[in-house]
Amino acid sequence: MLSVANLKAAYGASRVLFDVSLEIGDGEVVTLLGRNGMGKTTTVKTIMGLLVPSGGQVGFGGTPVAGLPPERIARMGAGLVPEGRQVFPTLTVRENLVATAANRLRRPDPWHLQAVYDLFPRLGERAGQMAATLSGGEQQMLAVGRALMTNPRLLILDEATEGLAPVIRTEIWHVIEKLKAQGQSILLIDKNLGVLKRMADRHYIIEKGRTVWHGTGGDLDNDAAKVQAYVGL
């Protein structure tokens, strides 16, 4: 479904991505691992059209999308939960959820408000509350719910559990497990290697803007020393 090959990108004259490649199939959960500053978020931005690549290919559902505007890529079924949540602070929980709601791919069982409230009961309890007044964990739930309301083929979660209290982090992981069980394709960026090994089908490691390793959870264990050197977890 998503194919990234030899991706290159830069911020002005500063090159960040030199050779990133990865693939995600329908229903797969795939991780993107690496130390801070190695290019993970830049890879996501480039996939989503928020940064124009300087080379390489990005394909989504068999269609080349490298360099397309982000709104076109989103309409094709890519949903992003960005690092830092970025909810609409002056809108209520309900307004945040319906603001970008769509079913452009005509899913027979699309996400809707009640389905999101069932997934995150706290959001239902706070439906009329301004997003700015929510806790960090509740804002993260809202960001995930808002992305689901676009009914994406691929859900991208960039540091979805970063800085959250352990109980909230566990709740987010349970939700991701439910989404996987429903066949949702997911690209995960996170530092919790123990959870990621159990949950994801495959893993990619980025080092200094290049894909330097990929494999399954079993491969992570077999190459533990190499993975430790790259990821530092």
Let me know if residue 195 belongs to a domain.
yes
| Residue 16's CATH number | 3.40.50.300
Tracing tokens 């989103």 back to the chain, one arrives at 74
Domain that residue 199 falls in:
1-77+185-233
pLDDT greater than 90 at residue 83: no
Let me know if residue 35 belongs to a domain.
yes
Let me know if residue 82 belongs to a domain.
no
pLDDT greater than 80 at residue 87: yes
Q: How many residues does the chain have?
A: 233
Let me know if residue 29 belongs to a domain.
yes
pLDDT greater than 70 at residue 179: yes
pLDDT greater than 80 at residue 69: yes
Contacts 24+ apart (CB under 8 A), 33-37: 33/189, 33/193, 33/196, 33/203, 33/204, 33/205, 33/206, 33/227, 33/230, 33/231, 34/205, 34/206, 34/207, 34/230, 34/231, 35/207, 35/230, 35/231, 35/232
Q: What is the mean pLDDT of residues 158-165?
A: 89
Let me know if residue 102 belongs to a domain.
no
Amino acid, single-letter form, for residue 82: P
Mean pLDDT over the full length of the chain = 94
pLDDT greater than 80 at residue 85: no
Let me know if residue 129 belongs to a domain.
no
Let me know if residue 17 belongs to a domain.
yes
Per-residue pLDDT at 45: 96
Q: Helix 136-148 vs helix 166-181: angle between axes, to the nearest 10 degrees?
A: 10
Q: What is the mean pLDDT of residues 139-154?
A: 95
pLDDT greater than 70 at residue 232: yes
pLDDT (tens digit per residue) in 95-142: 999 998 989 888 888 999 999 999 999 999 999 999 999 999 999 999
Strand 2-11 relative to strand 55-60, pairing: antiparallel
Distance CA 189, CA 196 (A): 9
Distance CA 96, CA 152 (A): 16
The CA–CA distances, whole Å, from 176 to 44, 160, 199, 200 equal: 18, 10, 9, 10
Q: What is the mean pLDDT of residues 151-163?
A: 93
Biggest alpha carbon distance in the chain?
49
Q: What is the mean pLDDT of residues 21-48?
A: 96
Q: Give the whole-number percent of the chain exceeding pLDDT 70.
A: 100
pLDDT greater than 90 at residue 175: yes
* Residue 131: HSE in the Cβ half-sphere, 13 Å Cα cutoff: 21
Count of domains forming the chain: 1
Let me know if residue 62 belongs to a domain.
yes
Distance CA 132, CA 130 (A): 5
Q: What is the mean pLDDT of residues 55-80?
A: 95
* pLDDT class of 233 with cuts at 50, 70, 90: low
